[in-house]
Chains A and B, each alone.
Chain A
Amino acid sequence: MSKIVIGYSEIIKKTDLGRGNFIMEIAPFSKARNIKPGQFVHIRLPDTNVFFRRAFSIYDYSPEQKTIKIIFKVFGRGTKLLAGLHRGDRLDVLGPLGNGFRLPGRRETVILVAGGIGMPPIYLLAKILTEKGFDQKRLLYFYGGATRDDLVELKKIRQLGVRVYPATEDGSLGFRGLITGALVDVIDSRQGKFRMYACGPEGMLRAVDELAGKMGIPGQLSLEAPMPCGIGICLGCIKPLRVGGYTRICREGPVYEIGEVIL
Chain B
Amino acid sequence: MSVDLSVEIAGVRLSNPILTASGTCGYGEELAELYDLSHLGGIVTKSITISPREGHPPPRTTETSAGMLNAIGLANVGVDRFITEKLAFLEKFRTVVVVNVAGAKLQEYVDICARLADCPRADMVELNFSCPNVEAGMEIAKSASLAEAAVREIKRVFPRPVIAKLSPNVTDITEIARACEAGGAGALALINTLVGMAVDIESRRPRLTNNTGGLSGPAIKPVALNMVHQVYNTVKIPVIGIGGIVNWQDAVEFFLCGATAVQVGTGLFVEPDAPLKIVRGLKKYLSDKKLNRVTELIGKVRKY
Contacts and interface: CB of A to CB of B under 8 A. Distances in A.
Interface string B59-102: 11111111110101001000000000000000000000000000
A87 to B, nearest CB: 25
B59 A52 contact: no
Interface string A1-38: 01110100000000000000000000000000000000
A245 interface: yes
The B contact surface, by secondary structure, is: loop
Interface residues of B, number: 33
Nearest to B218: A51
Nearest to A230: B269
B26 A233 contact: yes
B222 interface: no
A26 to B, nearest CB: 18
Interface residues of A, number: 28
Contact of B269 (A3, A6, A228): A228
B201 interface: no
B51 to A, nearest CB: 14
Given A4-B34, A51-B270, A52-B63, A234 B57 contact: no
A228 B24 CA distance: 11
Q: Which of B31, B34, B70, B75 has the most CB of A within 10 A?
A: B34
Contacts of A44: 270-271
Contact of A51 (B25, B58, B66, B273): B66
A2 B276 CA distance: 16
A221 to B, nearest CB: 17
Contact of B60 (A2, A233, A235): A235
Nearest to B35: A2
A224 to B, nearest CB: 12
A240 interface: yes
B25 to A, nearest CB: 6
A53 B270 CA distance: 6
Q: State the main secondary structure of chain A at its contact with B.
A: loop
B61 A3 contact: no
A251 interface: yes
A44 B34 CA distance: 17
Contacts of A233: 24-26, 30-31, 268-269, 272
Contacts of A251: 30
A234 B61 contact: yes
A225 B75 CA distance: 18
B55 interface: yes
B54 interface: yes
B183 interface: no
B161 interface: no
Contact of B63 (A4, A92, A228): A228
B279 to A, nearest CB: 16
A246 B55 contact: yes
B272 A231 contact: yes
A201 interface: no
B200 interface: no
A240 B57 contact: yes
17 contacts: A2-B34, A3-B33, A4-B34, A49-B65, A51-B64, A51-B66, A52-B63, A52-B270, A229-B272, A231-B30, A231-B31, A232-B30, A233-B268, A234-B24, A236-B61, A239-B58, A246-B75
Interface of B: 24-26, 30-31, 33-35, 54-55, 57-68, 70, 72, 75, 217-218, 268-273
Top 6 nearest A-B pairs (CB, nearest first) are A236-B61, A229-B269, A232-B30, A228-B269, A233-B26, A231-B30
